[in-house]
Amino acid sequence: MSRKVSIQTLADQLGLSKYAVSRALSGKTGVSESTRTRVLELARALGYRQNTPGSAIHVTHTNQADTSEPPFALICMNQLNRGEPHYWQRVLSGIITGCNEQGWHHVIVSPSLDIPSKEIPPEKAIAPHVDWSRCAGIIVMGAFPHTVLQRLVQTERPMILVDHQEPLLHCDTISHDNLEAGITAARYLISKQCKRIGLITDDGRAASFAQRKIGIELALNHFHMEASEDVRFQTWHVDYENGDWVNKLAAIMKDLPAGERPDAWIGANDDIALQWMQKLQQMGFSIPQDGLVIGIDNVYTAATSSPPLTTVHLCKEELGQRAVEALKRRIERPGTPKETVMLSTTLIPRESA
């Protein structure tokens, strides 16, 4: 006696998403061979039959994507980051490469930071122009307000956060180990016998900046416990988006006695470090003779600056590719605990330090 078995039935028993089951049954890309085998074996065992003669499996695509077209990953990117070439464009390049490897298309959107909460469905509020039935999942690049992330979750698509953490949401996160990056920078300067270290940062701009600062403080506290000598540490908070921060900090520096000026500077990212190193040179300081400068990111211009900038390398393209891998895993294993993956960092010593 035949039984009515739906894609949802198979998905529930296997702990997979309906999307993954549909892809496996139709022979399309986007699922691993082991997952495809599990789906097909259960479908046969339950008598899931296909309409075409001689076939053992029937695939109904009720409320499913049209599998004649490949699925796509919806990439949410803050409008402010879309033109930034040194970091986010490289992460985006990695995401696109990862999508191509999976046989997925990609759609890039910049959701409004003030999405209505109830007036219209989340899909229409976020990206009304796309065919959501083909959306395999969502990759969110960088920081977005919690209200926007909530609306993205309401689409009921798997979602991956890149370089941003939101503990209240059940989302996987892929990021760099920014804590390690701060520790690495501070330990390197300590090894160079620096006694007065200054950090230039804008904590309000990104969680990664705050994490790097914590890493620096951890490294310095650990050093103080191990050594009898002391290292002075001071944080200089600037408005990073306001280009005049360099001149304001320079004015403060001029009023500092020579014995209170830092003998080493850490920029919360390479751009800050590069701007400040240039300003120090304009003020008559020689780098590294009068002070060491180190950044975090390893952007292209860090290697071509004068002098070349010592920095902590963050693997940006790899970050994007790992986000796609995380999305694929979440599609295939929707019920598993959320994961936070942190990619390690590497020191790149150059002439500035």
pLDDT on residue 98 = 94
pLDDT on residue 194 = 93
Number of H helices, E strands in the chain: 11, 12
In this structure, are strands 72-77 and 346-348 parallel, antiparallel, or unpaired?
unpaired
pLDDT by 10s per residue, the chain, length 353: 334 667 777 776 777 777 778 878 887 777 777 788 778 877 776 666 554 333 334 433 334 444 457 889 999 998 877 777 788 889 999 999 999 999 999 999 888 777 666 678 888 888 888 889 899 999 999 888 888 898 899 999 999 999 988 888 889 999 999 999 999 999 999 999 999 999 999 977 778 899 999 999 999 988 766 555 678 899 999 998 787 999 999 999 888 888 889 999 999 999 999 999 999 999 999 999 999 999 999 999 999 999 999 999 999 999 999 999 999 999 998 888 999 999 999 999 999 99
Composition of the chain by helix, strand, coil, percent to 5 = 40, 15, 40
Nearest by Cα to 274 from 202, 200, 345, 174: 200
Note whether 50 and 59 are within 8 A (CB). yes
Residue that has been written with the tokens 């009898």 in this structure: 228
Nearest by Cα to 294 from 308, 311, 281: 311
Angle at 198 between CA 193 and CA 200, to 5 degrees: 140
pLDDT on residue 286 = 95
